[in-house]
Amino acid sequence: MRLKPLRLPDSGPLLGAGYLLLWLLLWLTVQPYWMLPYGLRFGALLLVPVRYWGWLLGGELAATAGIGLAHGLPRGWLGFAIDELPEPLVMAGGLWLLRRFNLHASLHSPQEVTRLLLSVVLVVTATTAVDAALLALVSTPGPPELIIGVLGEELLSHYLGILLIVPLMVMLLRARIERRALASLFMDGLLVMLPSMTILLLLSEQAAPQPQFARVLSLAPVLFFAFRHGWRGASLAMLITSLGMTLVDQHLGHAPSTAAAYLFLAVAGTGALMLGSATDALRRSSERVAEQNVYLGAVNRRLDQLAHQLRDAARGNLQTDENQRRHLAAELHDELGQNITAIQTHVKLAQARLLQAGMEDISTSINTILAHMRRALHRLLDDLRPAVLDEFGLLRALDEGPIRDLLSAAGMVYRTELHGDPRLLDDDTRTAIYRLVQESATNAVKHAKASEFRLRLRIGERQGVAVAVLDLRDDGTGLPSRLPRGGRGLQGMRDRVTSLGGQFRLRPAPAGVHLRILLRGSNHLSETGQ
């Protein structure tokens, strides 16, 4: 469950009053390099609609005027205006321009973090430059080293204030966080940050260089939170670490940390924020990849289902076609074959009468025609349903059946290598093997002008499934560069293999045609008891 971000009130006076209270609270924490109110101003102008900026700046001026009155306004109202007005006006003008150039209060990606940090540098540099110009106009020129030191301190404190406050404001007002992630962040805070602050306090009480080592060591949890919780964890860890360093200095009565320590803190915080944002982007990318993998897995499963359905449908079509062929062959054999036999019987009975009438040539012609019709009928029946396959079995039908007669009649040498038990295969696969060899041999006789045809068949078992590897080749002229339109030989063979879930490859050969075909039985051997 995601927690919704906080909603700002849609009222200028309420926003101004709330901003004033936050300004006063953060002003109490101001240190030489610790300007959290500056970060509050930057974040408020970045997140609040422009129409409410007047209320925000009015609340800030009221707060600073109250603080000035509490200290007696040593330079008067004119000095107060010169000191306090330019800086918020320059920041407001700079952020207005940057927002017009599509600057968003977002840390969603490393690119957005980089854009925001560059905007921070530009705004901080502009306000510091204005302060330097005003300082040169209204004050007596001092040593250059002193002026540079003051400006450097202001530049660093402003940048660090923005770095510590703005990510927290973006997280509260713009970003959504899951309740589980928030609970994990809280637990890691107790288990990691609390011991880290304790170690910081214990080492800071020791003599040098232990306190400096403690400050460097206290930044290790920042990197841990950046890796584990992204930019949200990095920003919170940075804020807690910085606050812990300041509180430890105050508790032990030490002098405020040097500029080098806070500069190191600013650099480490910038790197941690970039690292956290990159970690978030990588995590989101991994989640998207995982979601896409799940989706692609579902799609692949659906495609597999469709492929199985199409294969089953194609196998069913083949079975239907073979059944029709079988039925037609039986009808032709029973009807036409019996009629031819009856005609031959009647001609034989009438042969004596025709001989007496001097018409024996007619009986001879009729017998020749009937013999030709019977041979044509046998070839047609063999094309429709090879009876030799049912009578002899697959291996003997391939080695001794009509295919050898066809090739021998064409003057071709027929060589066979047959291995394995065809009973491992289902009837559809056995029929398909015979049909493929028959079609390939017919193509070799009709088109290849070959002198030799080779058949190699191996039947075995692979992972519990019966497998048949069929290798067919001839030494003929090979395939033409452009296959004739309407040809159904190779394409019909390919379709038959595909429908059975097999693989059909036309392999390159120096001469002739070389086909390699892989077929799998439809049933698992454990199911068929083989």
Model confidence pLDDT, tens digit, residues 107-159: 888 899 999 999 999 999 999 888 888 777 766 555 666 667 777 888 888 99
Identify the residue with better confidence: 24 or 78.
24
The size of the chain, in residues, is 530
Q: Whole-angstrom Cα distance, residue 166 to residue 489? A: 75
| Whether the Cβ atoms of residue 191 and residue 224 lie closer than 8 Å to each other | no
* CA atoms within 13 Å, Cβ hemisphere of 409: 10
Assigned domain for 402 exists: yes
* Residue-number span of the structural domain to which 503 is assigned: 392-528
CA angle at 386 for the pair 381 and 389, rounded to the nearest 5°:
155
| pLDDT for 256 beyond 60 | no
| DSSP character at residue 423 | G
Among 144, 175, 206, the domain boundary falls at 175
Helical ranges in 332-420 per DSSP H: 338-356, 360-384, 387-392, 394-400, 402-409
| pLDDT for 413 beyond 90 | yes
- pLDDT tier at 526 (50, 70, 90 boundaries)? very low
* Closest among 260, 298, 60, 25 to 165, alpha carbons compared: 25
| Whether the Cβ atoms of residue 393 and residue 279 lie closer than 8 Å to each other | no
What's the pLDDT at 144? 67
What's the pLDDT at 418? 93
Axis-axis angle for helices 86-100, 36-47 (nearest 10): 40
* Closest among 52, 135, 51, 37 to 88, alpha carbons compared: 37
Mean pLDDT, rounded, for 467-492: 77
Q: What's the pLDDT tens digit per position in 360-373?
A: 677 778 778 878 88
Task: Take residue 279 and report the two structure tokens written for it.
Answer: 């970690």
Assigned domain for 227 exists: no
Among 143, 175, 207, the domain boundary falls at 175
| Range in 8-12, 271-275, 307-311 with the lowest mean pLDDT | 307-311
Assigned domain for 495 exists: yes
| DSSP character at residue 509 | -
* CA atoms within 13 Å, Cβ hemisphere of 113: 24
Assigned domain for 266 exists: no
Assigned domain for 478 exists: yes
CATH number, domain containing residue 414: 3.30.565.10
Q: What is the DSSP string of 431-484?
A: HHHHHHHHHHHHHIIIII--SEEEEEEEEEEETTEEEEEEEEEE-S----SSPP
What is the pTM for the complete model shown? 0.63
| DSSP character at residue 4 | P
517 phi, psi to nearest 5 deg: -130, 135
Assigned domain for 379 exists: no
Q: Whole-angstrom Cα distance, residue 277 to residue 288? A: 16
Q: Whole-angstrom Cα distance, residue 268 to residue 219? A: 8
| Range in 1-15, 126-140, 295-309 with the lowest mean pLDDT | 126-140
Task: Take residue 289 and report the two structure tokens written for it.
Answer: 């990849």
Assigned domain for 281 exists: no
What's the pLDDT at 449? 84
Contacts of 200 (CB under 8 A, 6+ apart): 214, 215, 217, 218, 244, 245, 248
| pLDDT for 414 beyond 90 | yes
Range 81-100 burial, b when 16+ CB lie within 10 A, else e: eebbeebbebbbebbeebee
What's the pLDDT at 250? 66
| pLDDT for 525 beyond 60 | no
| Whether the Cβ atoms of residue 160 and residue 266 lie closer than 8 Å to each other | yes
| Whether the Cβ atoms of residue 217 and residue 197 lie closer than 8 Å to each other | no
**Is the Cα torsion angle 67, 70, 71, 74 positive or negative in sign?**
positive
Q: What is the mean pLDDT of the chain?
A: 82
| pLDDT for 31 beyond 70 | yes
**Helix (H) and strand (E) counts in the chain:** 20, 7
Contacts of 34 (CB under 8 A, 6+ apart): 157, 160, 161, 242, 246, 262
| Range in 329-343, 416-430, 508-522 with the lowest mean pLDDT | 329-343
| pLDDT for 12 beyond 50 | yes
Task: Take residue 71 and report the two structure tokens written for it.
Answer: 């200290």
Most confidently predicted of 189-198, 348-357, 428-437, 514-523: 428-437
Assigned domain for 325 exists: no
Among 156, 175, 194, the domain boundary falls at 175
- pLDDT tier at 495 (50, 70, 90 boundaries)? confident
Q: Whole-angstrom Cα distance, residue 8 to residue 19? A: 11
- Backbone region of residue 73 per phi and psi (left: phi > 0; alpha: psi in -120 to 50; beta: other values): left
| Whether the Cβ atoms of residue 40 and residue 47 lie closer than 8 Å to each other | no
- The H-or-E segment that residue 121 falls in is helix 110-138
| β-bridge partners, 458 | 419, 469
Number of domains in the chain: 2
Mean pLDDT, rounded, for 298-321: 81
Q: With pLDDT > 90 as the criterion, what percentage of the chain qualifies?
A: 25
